[in-house]
Structure 1
Amino acid sequence: MPLPSLNDINPVAASLEASSIRAIANFGMTQEGVIPLWFGESDIVTPEFICQAAFDSLAAGQTRYTPNNGILALRQALSSYQTTLFNQSFDEDNIVVTVSGTNAVMLAAQTIISPTDKVVVITPAFPTLMAIPRLLGAQVIEFPLTQMQGRFELDLNGLFKILKGARALVINSPANPTGWVASFAQLCAIAEFSRQMGIWVISDEVYNRHVYQGQCAPSFAQIMNEDDRIIICNSFSKAWCMTGWRLGWLTLPKVLRPTITKLIEFNVSCAPAFVQAAGLAAITQGEVFLQQTLVRFRQSRTMVYDALNDVDGITLYDMPATFYAFIKVDGLADDSQAYILNMIRNEKVGVAPGEAFGEAGKGHLRICYGQNHQSLALALQRLRRYLSCYHN
């Protein structure tokens, strides 16, 4: 029998583009002395108290299957955390534990999206948010943020116009890669539009705590009720430096839980017990650690501004949230891979290509400033030199 070809597999899966961020990283990791600013993670390791909780769970023999929706203690802790943070009542039946934030988005999409559905994604956006509905056979429409006076803004009237006939809206706020944050008034308007038009909202709020004013970014959790078509996706990866642990959660109307439960069973079965034990420690004991990381990131943001704000041909946008700087580079090709590979070879620093985040990201670069200050200072010195010489 002949070997299978691309004609023998799911055409949607075959047509998905590989991650250009990963391609850059794969090359950069073969080069000695390169400072990596490409992935969306800091160099801060998971704190000891979280790791200890996982060790204790393993020592106690907690290596068997767990409930599909997550261990009750973790779901209760998450509901309590959100009730306090958002001043809105939740209980454990509004919470489903997932295997990463990415898995949360996939489960939300599988629950509400069917082939040929129209799905609108606010961009620039992390590639997963566009790839998942496409993989499910949906028609994905990118709706770009507007660039105004060094910041990103959302044109609500334009968004509501393009949402006509849509099944769902996918929104990420605070946003990767731009750092844009939707206002509370904008979220209220979107929620009301969803109610009137029967449109689902999948809200990726992984960076909700990575803001530099206030305790958290505005969230749909502050306004949603049991009748709303809103699903919030979240993760332990960013706030508690647990990217490799692969643990997340969904906040949703209780009516969705039976369907989500079945999807979890047929996707991943359940999240591991010892990883959930680590998550429980993070959510109940991790506030001091989280605030300490924000102090560091705030200083890192200032370092980025001081290093790049006055480079000719570069637009450095406002950075109200996340740990990313998104910069526009005059004359940068739509495909910036060659530009970045040359940066890695010549200056030993690497960033993420803007086009990885959709059409609206073309001509831009994303810088993750999660490195320690010593490494970041050197990386920014190299990046400034390269951008000054090769921006057009």
Structure 2
Amino acid sequence: MTDREIKDMEYGAGVQLSPIATQLKESSIRTIANFGMTQPDVTPLWFGESDIPTPEFIRQAASDSLSQGDTRYTPNNGAPALRRALADYQRRLYHTPFDENNIVVTVSGTNAIMLAAQTCVSAGDKVVVITPVFPTLFAVPELLGAKVVQHPLIQVDNRFELDLDALFSQAKDAKAIIINSPANPTGWCASQQEVEAICQFARTHHVWVIADEVYARHTYESESAPSFCQFMKESDPIIVCNSFSKAWSMTGWRLGWLTLPKSITPTITKLIEYNVSCAPGFVQAGGLAAVTQGESFIEQSRERYTQARALVLKWLSDIPGTTLYDMPATFYAFLKIEGLGDNSQPYILQMIEKAKVGVAPGEAFGQGGEGHLRICYGCDLKRLNQALSQLRAYLIAHPCRNNEDESAILK
């Protein structure tokens, strides 16, 4: 059934589905993954998660909590002990004066983004989203009826950069800016000066900033990436979204948090009540263990990702017709393929069949992502080394050609 057929479908006495919901695009990443999962012996580099399991001390804390019967409702804005621990964690990293009253616990980083957007975005508002970016960040304001304007990063040699002047010109009449730094899929990371400048713009022009900092701890030059928490003031229109998923390998736990001005905490808390009610207590117990005991795990993970990044450079940095961008943060490589165009799915599907490696299509991440592939290198080093070797051989043997017929690619 086509999107148009779904849109036109009537239920009961002429009742239709929401046009905003029906017109949302399906994730092409999931399309690739669904196909890849049906093929034998494929190394999956398509999803944004590490294969490192959640550490045992986190699992044990949650298990103990569950065994003790921690299965009832919790406060809408999160368990007080976890909120205090998150405030202490951020004070240590960013020297911020914010306390637990600036922290709200959410059911995942995705839920954090939705709550932030629901707080400050209304139907018809203009929202500027810096791209390429994980599709949730432009889908959320679209679901709320906002007019989303994508602002692509610029490409300079083998790195991505943010044109601040162009961003500010485009956003001066916007209701909000959504920024993901460090960024999925590019690995780009805003500098401290850029973060500070955006904070100043927000307070001067009364534009909200929703900052997704899920990958803040996945940097290679410092303990943490520059954060909006370092510069935001209590009165600033800034909301910082974070998650336990990446730093502590807790993707399936669905736990996140917001850092925000105290004045809007009551509004967010009400939204949580009407969205998800609260995060489970035993899951928050695991989060408390992560944030209070997890620094050594983060450091060990960073060491492995550093080795993995070196393998990416070894295998993919010098292939004719491609550009491998700098990787200052995250566990993603973003690879530009000359001639790939704006529909890389046929090329990737063939890659899965012939090279036994699956990656994510760049166009899934919005403007600036077309013609690229995203490779998640957060997997076992031995397996990654073999997969990258196979990927290199495939890219060399199957160069793209501009305007090549898609049916020919699949032959």
State the TM-score bracket (shorter-chain normalisation).
over 0.9
Point out 4+ residue stretches in structure 1 off by more than 2 angstroms: 1-7
Corresponding position: 1:268 with 2:284: no
- Residues 164-201 of structure 1, C-alpha deviation per residue, up to 9 Å, x if partnerless? 21000000000000000101111111111111110000
Match of 2:386 in 1: 378
* Counterpart position of 1:289: 297
Taking the aligned partners of 1:195 and 1:390, their CA distance within structure 2 comes to 50
Given that residues 6 and 14 in structure 1 are in contact (C-alpha distance below 8 angstroms), is that contact kept between their aligned partners in structure 2? no
Residue 195 in 1 paired to residue 203 in 2?
Answer: yes
* Distance (Å, rounded) in 2 between the aligned partners of 1:337 and 1:117: 33
Counterpart mapping for 1:108-119 below 5 A: 108-119=116-127
AA at the equivalent of 1:189 = A
Q: State the Cα distance separating 1:141 from its structure 2 match.
A: 0.3
User: Does residue 219 of structure 1 match 2:217?
Assistant: no
Structure 2: which 5+ runs fail to align? 1-8, 401-411
Q: Would you say the 8 A contact 2:10–2:17 is kept in 1? A: no
Q: Is residue 225 of structure 2 the alignment partner of residue 249 of structure 1?
A: no
| Cα deviation 1:86-134 (Å, max 9, x = unaligned) | 0111211000000000000000000000000000000000000000000
User: For the residues of structure 1 that align with 2:193 and 2:399, how far apart are their CA atoms?
Assistant: 38
- Counterpart residue number, 1:183: 191
Residue type of the alignment partner of 1:359: Q
Q: Residue 326 of structure 2 corresponds to which residue in structure 1?
A: 318
Cα deviation, residue 3, structure 1: 4.5
Alignment counterpart, residue 335 of structure 1, candidates 323, 328, 343: 343
Give, in whole Å, the separation in 1 of the partners of 2:147 and 2:208: 15
Contact between 2:359 and 2:374, CA under 8 Å: does it hold in 1?
A: yes
CA contact (8 A) 1:340 1:353 kept: yes
Distance across 2 between alignment mates of 1:150 and 1:5: 57
Matched residue, 2:33: 25
Aligned partner letter, 2:289: A
| Matching of residue 151 in structure 1 with residue 159 in structure 2 | yes
In 2, the alpha carbon distance for the partners of 1:287 and 1:371 equals 20
Match of 2:406 in 1: none
Q: Which amino acid aligns with 1:135?
A: L
Q: 1:324 to 1:16 in 2, by over 3 A?
A: same
1:2 Cα offset (Å): 7.0
Coordinate RMSD, CA, aligned: 1.3
Asked if the contact 1:314–1:391 (Cα under 8 Å) also holds between the matched residues in 2, the reply is no
Whether the 8 Å CA contact 2:10–2:16 is kept in 1: the answer is no
Q: Distance in 1 between matches of 2:211 and 2:14?
A: 33
| 1:123 aligned partner | 131
- Report the alpha carbon displacement of residue 144 of structure 1 after superposing the two structures with TM: 0.5
**Counterpart for residue 76 of structure 1:** 84
1:114–1:137 CA contact under 8 A, matched in 2:
yes
SS at match of 1:152: strand
Shift of 1:276: 0.1
Secondary structure of 1:361's aligned partner? coil
Q: CA deviation at 1:5?
A: 11
**Per the alignment, in what secondary structure is the counterpart of residue 360 of structure 1?**
coil
Supply the distance in 2 between the matched residues of 1:255 and 1:323 (Cα, whole angstroms). 35
Superposed CA offset, 1:5-62 (max 9, x none): 9971110111000110011001101111000000000100001000000010011110
Distance 2:130 2:319 in 1: 29
Superposition TM-score, scaled by structure 1 size: 0.98
- Write the distance in 1 (CA, Å) between the matches of 2:349 and 2:10: 38
* Separation in 2, partners of 1:80, 1:35: 39
Rounded to whole Å, the distance in 2 between the matches of 1:43 and 1:235 is: 17
CA–CA separation in structure 2 for the residues paired with 1:38 and 1:195:
38
* CA displacement at 1:391 relative to structure 2: 2.4
Where does residue 301 of structure 1 map in the other structure?
A: 309
Cα-to-partner distance string for 1:208-263 (whole Å, 9 max, x where unaligned): 00000111000010011111000000000000000000000000000111110110
Residue 40 (1) aligns with residue 48 (2) = yes
2:376 — aligned with what? 368
For the pair 1:349 / 2:357, whether they are aligned, the reply is: yes
1:139 maps to what in 2?
Answer: 147
Query: Which consecutive residues of structure 1, in runs of 5 or more, have no partner in the other structure?
Result: none
Q: Percent identity?
A: 64
Q: Find 1:173's aligned residue among 166, 176, 181.
A: 181
User: Normalized against structure 2, the TM-score is what?
Assistant: 0.94
AA aligned opposite 1:320: P
Separation in structure 2 between the aligned mates of residue 121 and residue 246 of structure 1, nearest angstrom: 24
